[in-house]
């Protein structure tokens, strides 16, 4: 009997190590697929040659100019969205918390479009600040309205409030684009979430913001574990609950704003990824965050690759494919949550 806890801990470490290694392997395979698969598919040798010995030929152009930026942006935005969902779900104890569902992405998007349309901001390092402001304002409205009333906040109430905020902001974005013929074509692709049409310059300007968000989220790991025990228990164990929620809000705003600036308002990646990571992590928020940083890019890059082939030679945006994947998961979670509360 005395060896049972030791054996259990060893088994858990093996599961975590296997999940992490497996996630890295799958991410590497999806990353290769992102470079190799498209209107013209390339072999492993062609991809490797383009990366290591570019010769200015067709393969080098496809890999370096078209697909490598999509890969880098998918890695950055996927990690940001996955961790954002994990932090939101942990700090709110809401299984359907997601920056897309809660209107945070829509707030960031409308602020970016306003900055571009009315202020002429074109530099990503400039409009990312508007994304942060829009995300913060939308989050404040959703949580203020969704937490009001005698019952307080519930998963479904927050989701409905987020849907209402998104429904209000989306037409505003469209109205701002009326008469903007030079930008509306690019916006159509960006508005549903896409990795195409960007370059590595955007990633180079926005990676510091991503790093700040990742560091903030990493600092929250232990606090989120204690917060899961309830606010009173967390306080008794030395956690400053208010400070933790402020840090969590800052991490969510920075990560969601950065992801939206990079690839547009992609929904449901932040919903699905933590639900895949949590059983593997045994509920440990630190490992949920680490695995979400891997599984987020896996899902987003896989959605991008699928979008290239399902309607070839045309292309389906990654945000649409991610929504198709995530919608059944959302329905299943809502049904399970209602059943548990009945």
Q: Is residue 18 part of a domain?
A: no
Copy the structure tokens of residue 237.
């164990």
**262 and 100 Cβ atoms separated by less than 8 Å:** no
**80 and 258 Cβ atoms separated by less than 8 Å:** yes
Q: Is residue 64 part of a domain?
A: no
Distances (CA, A) of 249 to 26, 53, 88, 92, 138: 30, 44, 8, 11, 12
pLDDT confidence of 181, banded at 50, 70, 90?
low
Backbone dihedral region of 93: left (phi > 0), alpha (psi from -120 to 50 degrees) or beta? left
Query: Looking at residue 194, what is its pLDDT?
Result: 84
Query: Looking at residue 86, what is its pLDDT?
Result: 95
Q: How many domains would you assign to the chain?
A: 1
Query: Looking at residue 119, what is its pLDDT?
Result: 83
Q: Is residue 342 part of a domain?
A: no
pTM of the model: 0.89
Q: Is residue 87 part of a domain?
A: yes
CA–CA gap between residue 130 and residue 257 (Å, rounded)? 8
**Closest-CA residue to 96 (of 137, 157, 35, 49):** 157
Q: Is residue 252 part of a domain?
A: yes
pLDDT confidence of 70, banded at 50, 70, 90?
very high
Q: Is residue 293 part of a domain?
A: yes
**What tens digit of pLDDT does each residue of 239-268 get?**
888 889 899 999 999 999 999 989 988 888
CA–CA gap between residue 70 and residue 193 (Å, rounded)? 12
Q: Is residue 28 part of a domain?
A: no
Distances (CA, A) of 138 to 70, 87, 161, 234, 264: 28, 17, 10, 28, 16
**127 and 146 Cβ atoms separated by less than 8 Å:** no
For residues 42-69, give the mean pLDDT: 91
**What tens digit of pLDDT does each residue of 96-141 get?**
888 988 999 999 989 988 888 888 787 888 889 999 999 999 999 9
CATH assignment at residue 91: 1.10.3470.10
Q: Is residue 45 part of a domain?
A: no
Question: Domain range holding 293?
Answer: 72-324
Cis peptide, bond prior to residue 313, ω within 30 of zero: yes
């Amino acid at each position: 009997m005395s060896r049972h806890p030791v054996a259990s801990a060893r088994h858990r470490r093996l599961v975590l190590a296997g999940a992490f290694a497996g996630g890295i392997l799958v991410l590497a395979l999806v990353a290769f697929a992102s470079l190799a698969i498209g209107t013209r598919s390339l072999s492993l040798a062609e991809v490797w040659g383009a990366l290591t010995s570019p010769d200015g030929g067709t393969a080098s152009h496809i890999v370096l100019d078209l697909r490598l930026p999509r890969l880098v942006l998918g890695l950055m935005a996927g990690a940001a969205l996955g961790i954002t969902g994990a932090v939101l779900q942990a700090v709110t104890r809401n299984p359907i918390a997601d920056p897309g569902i809660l209107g945070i992405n829509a707030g960031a998007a409308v602020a970016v479009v306003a900055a571009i349309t009315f202020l002429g901001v074109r530099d990503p390092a400039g409009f990312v600040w508007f994304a942060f402001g829009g995300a913060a304002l939308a989050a404040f409205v959703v949580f203020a309205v969704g937490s009001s009333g005698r019952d307080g906040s519930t998963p479904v109430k927050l989701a409905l409030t987020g849907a209402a905020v998104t429904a209000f902001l989306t037409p505003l974005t469209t109205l701002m684009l009326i008469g903007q013929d030079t930008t509306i074509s690019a916006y159509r692709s960006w508005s549903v979430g896409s990795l195409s049409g960007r370059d590595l310059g955007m990633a180079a300007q926005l990676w510091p913001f991503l790093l700040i968000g990742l560091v903030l989220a990493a600092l929250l790991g232990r606090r989120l574990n204690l917060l899961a025990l309830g606010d009173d228990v967390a306080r008794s164990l030395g956690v400053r609950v208010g400070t933790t929620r402020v840090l969590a809000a800052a991490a969510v705003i920075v990560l969601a704003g950065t992801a939206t600036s990079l690839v547009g308002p992609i929904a449901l990646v932040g919903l699905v990824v933590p639900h895949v990571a949590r059983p593997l992590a045994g509920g440990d928020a630190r490992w949920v965050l680490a695995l979400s940083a891997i599984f987020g890019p896996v899902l987003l890059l896989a959605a991008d690759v699928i979008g290239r082939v399902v309607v070839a030679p045309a292309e389906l945006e990654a945000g649409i494919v991610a929504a198709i994947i995530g919608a059944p998961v959302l329905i299943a979670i809502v049904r399970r949550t209602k059943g548990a509360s009945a």
